[in-house]
Structure 1
Amino acid sequence: MTGNCNRIYITALLIIGVLISCQTAKQPEAVIPEHSMPKEKPVPPQEPELEPFAANWAGTTWIIRDTDNTKTKPFPGYRGFHLGRGGNFFLINSDTAVGGTWSAKGSFLRLEILQGRPELPLSGSFQAFKENEDRPQKIRLVPEHKSLEQGIIFESAAAAIAMEENHWIPKQLSGSEHVLWPASREIHLILLPNGEGGLWAVGYGGENRFRGDVFLDEEQFKTGPLASTKRSGPFLDFETIYLQSISNTTHYIQVDKDVFFYHETKPLTAFRVQMFE
């Protein structure tokens, strides 16, 4: 009898143990099909917060420097534009286009091209934003209805040397592409006091020396008749174009140690100063 009781007791314990293990067994986690799982939406990148840049735009120059790392860069090593005091829009180092006019209201600029298509997209309406607080001042020029990321960063530029009493060497001359440049001769232009409160334009064109009166103010450059010697030679074609270019100049823009001559807004000649010890 006792043996039967023991067997019944052991059997009961086994049944209770099985029931407890069934209740505490970990249930497998339900697997959610991948296609039914909610996907996180990508967060669009936030545009940088820049302050609109409003300035007295008239008479300001803005450039982009070349990024070429070679030791010898094509003259002048930058491109850009100048906003003339009379509303003229001057393109700097742009071979294929001629600037027209500009206007501004606060940080908004309207730039008009007279001819061609500039290498930089500088036609239409833009808003300017301040890019930095340092010097030189930098701005981001953003086309109308475009994001800040599509803007172009320019830095301010100005003259680093006086126009008068310096030795200017021509580096670019419109119309001279098919004539012989007098590279071995010291072609130059110098503006000197004439002793009567005005200025003379004096220089050398490759064959002859020349001189004439010149009127100069903040942007205007106008010469009187240029008198020259009468020598002939292999560089006379170049010299003729060079003197005609100076005579036709109405405006000039200085950038650092360079100067650019224009007839209205059409580029004519570009010079770089030659410094002497």
Structure 2
Amino acid sequence: MEAGHLAGYDVIISVHLDISQEKKEAWLKKVPEELRPLVQTFSTQDLKNWIPKPAEFKNVYEQNHTPVQMFMAQNPKYDFVYTVENDVRLIGRWDTFLADVDAEYAFHRKHQEKDQNMSDVPDLVTFQSVRRPRGDWPWLKADSEKECIKKFGGMENIRSSLGVVWGWSRKLTDSLSQFNKDGLNCYFEYFAPSAAYHQNLTTFFYQHPLYCPNRPSPSERHSMAPKDLGKNDPRLVQYDKVAVGCTYYFVNVHSQPFWDTWYRNPEACRPPALVHPIKGDFFN
């Protein structure tokens, strides 16, 4: 538990279970005894009951920000949390990786411009570039998203990012809850980034190595002009021709074989990097 014992974070294993109490108790008995104190479970009904009305909760797949909001509301001692999905792996150590995120953000905050008011800690930490989604992105075409897009002021003000590892401030989760009170609950990969942009919160994109085995370059590149950043986003981050895809993406064409090779070869040495998605019992 590098993030816990070494980095000083409270580590919580949050599990979505839609099963009877009897089956839940049987499931918990299968968890290794030393890990049971870390496990917290929640159900779809828990989220439907909790979400600020009149917003409605649809499902965890499309609205997995709602469990984070509920956790923050029920645990006031936390002002910032990271969420890591279970198919994310890290080449390197979590304690040094997270410490470098903190150090990198501190550097950008120290060099913020006079018209900026960057918070002590970022409100949203993301590990893929924040960008305007392409016009044919399926999630923006759903009827359920029309009111969200309208609320944010149209497509020009929509921002998205891969949401498998994010850092969330209480200001951000409270902001999402306020949108819920206005009747909105949007698709998660653009809800939090767009809310942060709309509310002038600070979004910090932490760049880490991407690998494209057997390819000369990443599968995508993305450029984001400084004028497209949020008012309080770090402006020294290199957004010109940011690499997207390969070993940190939504499909595992490159990430799975890359991880498997590294995991099985003790002599392999590579810089710290997040890898997603990884399927199977591979842990570091």
> What TM-score results when the alignment is normalised by the length of structure 1?
0.25
Q: Which one has more relative contact order, counting CA pairs under 8 Å at least 6 apart?
A: 2
When Rg is computed on C-alpha atoms for both structures, the one with the higher figure is 1
Which structure's residues are more often strand, by fraction? 1
More helix per residue: 2
TM-score of the superposed pair, with normalisation by structure 2: 0.24
